[in-house]
Structure 1
Amino acid sequence: MKSQAAFFNGLFSAGSKSVSPSPFFVMVRKEVADQVRSWRFIILAGLILLTFFASMYVSMINISKAVSNYDDPDRLFLYLKLLTTSDGALPPFHVFIGFLGPLLGISLGFDAINSEQSNGTLIRLMAQPVYRDSVINAKFVASLIVISTLFLSLNLLMIGGGLYITGVSIEPSECIRILGFVLLSIIYVAFWLNLSILLSVKFKQAATSALTAIAIWLFFTVFYQIILNIAIKAFLPDPNQLTQDQVISYNGIILTFLRLVPSQLYADATTTLLMPSVRSLGPLTMEQMAGAIPSPLSVRESLLVVWPQVSGLIAATVVCFALSYYLFMRREIRT
C-alpha cells in the first residue's frame, strides 16, 4: 500500500510541475509586447486604420455604381470591389498599403539590433543561456506576428462590415483572393522589415539605419522612375517610329526594369488578385487578343499570372533576412 501511494504521489507531483517556456518564445512575447506598446507602431497603425476606413467609406458610397456597371466583368465580385472601388478622391486600400507598408516595416526593424547594443542590453542577453540566432529570429518573428495580425484583422473587419451592410454572402473564390492579398501584403512589408533589420545589424546608430532605409524607400518610390524615364529617352529609340513587334519588345524592356522595384511587384500582384478580369501584366498583340472572351479568370489562373511577382518578393525577403542573419552571427559583441 505504501509503495502504491508513493507511486501515485510521484505521478501527480510530476504532472503538476510547470514546463519552463523556451527562451525563443519568451523573447518573441517580449518583443511583441514592446512593439504594440511603442508610439511609432501606434501612430503608423492609426494611419493605416484611418486610410482603411476612408477607403472603405468611399467604396461603400460608390459600390452601387460599380456593381451596376454591366461593362465591368468584375462587377459580381462585391467584396473585391470594396478593396478596389474608388471615386478618384482617394486611392483604393491596396494602393495605400503599397505606400504605408514600407514605413511600417522600417519602423519595426530599424533599431532591432543596434539599439540593444547601444543600450548595453545585447551583451547581457548574450551572457544568458540563449542561442545567438534566437535573438534575431525572435525580432523577425515578433514583427511578423504584429504585421500579420494587423492586416488579417483589417480584412476580416472589411468582410464583416460588408456582410452587415450589404447582407451578401462572400464567395469562396473571393475569400481565397482576399487571403492571398493579405499574404502578399505581409510578404511585401516583411521585405522592408528584413531590409531595416539588415541595416540595423550593419550600422551602429539607429538614426543612421533609419535614414538609410527611408532613403532606399524614397529612391524606389520617387527617383527610380524618374531616372528610368531619363535613361529610356537617352538610350532607347522613339516608340512612334517602331513597328508593332518592336513596340512590344520596347514595353517589355521598360516593364523589366520597373519590376526591379518591390512596390511595382506588389502593385502588379495585388491588381491581378483583386481584379479577376486582368489577364496579363504585359503588352499583348492583336493575335493574342483575338477570340479572347472578356470574362474573369479563375483563382488558379490569376495565381499563375502573379507567381513571378510573388516569387520575386519572397526571394528578396529571404535574401535580406539571410544577409542580416549572416552578419549578426559573425558580429563581435562587446561592452
Structure 2
Amino acid sequence: MEIRRICTIAEKEFSENIRGRRFLLVLALFLIIAAIGAWQGIQDYTDALDRYMQTLQVTGIGVVSSLAHVRPSILDVFMRMGETMSILGAVLGIAVGFDLISGEKEDHSLKMLLSHPVYRDEVITGKALGGIVTVAFAMAVALGIALALLLISGHVPSSDESGFILIFGLVSFLYLTCGYAIALAMSVVADRSGKALLYALVVFFFLSSVVPAA
C-alpha cells in the first residue's frame, strides 16, 4: 500500500467534498444549528451565573466554599450545543460518506480509477481518510463558532474548561465519524447511492434508538 497515493486520493476527496453543493448545504444547516445551540447554552449559562452571584451576595462571602460546587460551568454551553446538533451531525457524516464508493460505481469512474497503478484498498482508504478530514473540518468550524460566541459574550474558559472543551470536540468528532463510517460501509456494500443512503439511515436510527434502549 503506497502512502503517497493514499494521501493524493484523500486530498482529492477532501477538495471535492468542501466544494460540493450537497455538503455545503448540510454543513450550513449543521453550523446554524450548532450556533443556535451554543447561543442558547450561553444564555442559560449567563442566567445561571447571575443567579449564582446573587446568591453569594445574599448569603455572604462566608459560605462561598459550601456553594462552590454549584457554580455554573461553561461546559454546560457545549452540552447544550451537543444536544441540538446530535442528529444533524450524524446526518452530516452520512452525507459525506454514503456515495463515496457507490457513486464511483454508478458513473463507472471506479473502473477507470482502478485501471491506473492503484489498488482497491488504497482507493477505499484514501477516500475514507478524505472523508474523515472533511468531518474534522466541519467539527472544527462548529467548535470555533461556539468559542467565538462565548468570547463575544464576555466568557473566557479557564485552562481546565479549555481541556474539557477539547475533549468535547474530540468526542463530537468521533460521533460524526461513526455516522460517516456507517455510510462508507453501506457505500461499499450497495451498488447504488440511493440504496447506500437508505441503508445508512436505517442502521443509524436502529443503533441510536434500539441499542440505547437495550
1-structure distance, mates of 2:38, 2:178: 26
Q: Which has the higher contact order (CA 8 A, sep 6+)?
A: 2
Determine what percentage of the aligned residue pairs are the same residue: 22
2-structure distance, mates of 1:61, 1:258: 30
Q: Which has the higher helix share?
A: 2
Shift of 1:42: 1.2
1:133 and 2:133 aligned: no
2-structure distance, mates of 1:194, 1:62: 34
CA contact (8 A) 2:104 2:110 kept: yes
CA contact (8 A) 1:97 1:185 kept: no
Corresponding residue of 1:103: 91
Matches within 5 A, 1:183-194: 183-194=170-181
Which amino acid is 2:76 matched to?
K
2-structure distance, mates of 1:196, 1:147: 13
1:160 and 2:114 aligned: no
1-structure distance, mates of 2:128, 2:213: 26
Corresponding residue of 1:112: 100
Match 1:82 to one of 65, 77, 83: 77
1:258 and 2:212 aligned: yes
Which amino acid is 1:57 matched to?
W
Corresponding residue of 2:44: 62
CA contact (8 A) 1:36 1:146 kept: yes
Aligned residues: 198
Match 1:147 to one of 128, 132, 135: 135
Shift of 1:259: 7.0
Could you report, residue by residue, the CA deviation over 1:115-143 in whole angstroms, capped at 9, with x for unpaired residues? 11221111111111113221111111111
CA contact (8 A) 1:83 1:93 kept: yes
Corresponding residue of 2:69: 73
2-structure distance, mates of 1:122, 1:81: 46
Provide TM-score, normalisation by structure 1.
Answer: 0.54
Q: Which secondary structure state, in structure 2, belongs to the residue aligned with residue 73 of structure 1?
A: helix
CA contact (8 A) 1:75 1:81 kept: no
2-structure distance, mates of 1:110, 1:40: 12
CA contact (8 A) 2:78 2:165 kept: no
1-structure distance, mates of 2:186, 2:19: 23
2-structure distance, mates of 1:105, 1:74: 36
2-structure distance, mates of 1:170, 1:33: 33
2-structure distance, mates of 1:179, 1:60: 17
1-structure distance, mates of 2:100, 2:207: 23
2-structure distance, mates of 1:64, 1:209: 44
2-structure distance, mates of 1:258, 1:62: 28
Corresponding residue of 2:55: none
CA RMSD of aligned residues (A): 2.3
Shift of 1:27: 1.2
Provide TM-score, normalisation by structure 2.
Answer: 0.82
Corresponding residue of 1:214: 201
Which amino acid is 1:163 matched to?
L
Shift of 1:74: 5.4
Shift of 1:76: 4.7
CA contact (8 A) 2:139 2:169 kept: yes
CA contact (8 A) 1:102 1:192 kept: yes
Matches within 5 A, 1:1-335: 22-70=4-52, 73=69, 75-77=71-73, 79-84=74-79, 92-166=80-154, 168-222=155-209, 224=210, 258=212
- Mind listing any 5+ residue stretches in structure 1 that lack a counterpart? 1-20, 85-91, 225-256, 261-335
Change (3 A) 1:74 1:192: farther
Which amino acid is 1:159 matched to?
L
